[in-house]
């Protein structure tokens, strides 16, 4: 599983990365986290608000900071 954090480096973007890493540990899944900070690459996902969370190339959240529990639910599907 590949989880991407889309954002230009703002505080919420950094926090979402931190929360996503905790969610991976809690869920016990094998996943990697990638940061996408280039605006043109963020726009490729049709995301207008950051931070955004992408799981296996599907945008699952944009414009808000999710909790660890929220992300665990998304990971487990």
Please choose, from the candidates 55, 59, 58, the residue with its C-alpha nearest in 3D space to the C-alpha of residue 75: 55
User: What is the domain partition of the chain in residue ranges?
Assistant: 2-76
pTM for the structure as a whole: 0.94
**Inter-residue contact 77 to 67 (CB < 8 Å):** no
Q: Which residues are catalytic?
A: 10, 13
pLDDT at 77: 81
Supply 5's token pair. Answer: 């954090």
Outline where 32-67 has alpha helix (H). Answer: 39-43
Specify the 3-state DSSP secondary structure of 20: helix
Which superfamily does CATH assign the domain made up of 2-76 to?
Answer: Glutaredoxin (3.40.30.10)
pLDDT at 37 over 90: yes
In degrees and rounded to multiples of 5, residue 8 shows phi and psi of: -90, 0
**Inter-residue contact 12 to 62 (CB < 8 Å):** no
């Amino acid at each position: 599983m590949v989880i991407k954090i889309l954002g230009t480096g703002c505080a919420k973007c950094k926090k979402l990365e931190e929360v996503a890493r905790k969610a991976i540990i809690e869920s016990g899944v094998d996943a990697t986290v990638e940061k996408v900070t280039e605006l043109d690459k963020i726009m490729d996902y049709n995301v207008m608000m950051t931070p955004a969370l992408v799981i296996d190339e599907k945008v699952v959240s944009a414009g808000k900071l999710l909790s660890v529990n929220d992300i665990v639910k998304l990971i487990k599907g």
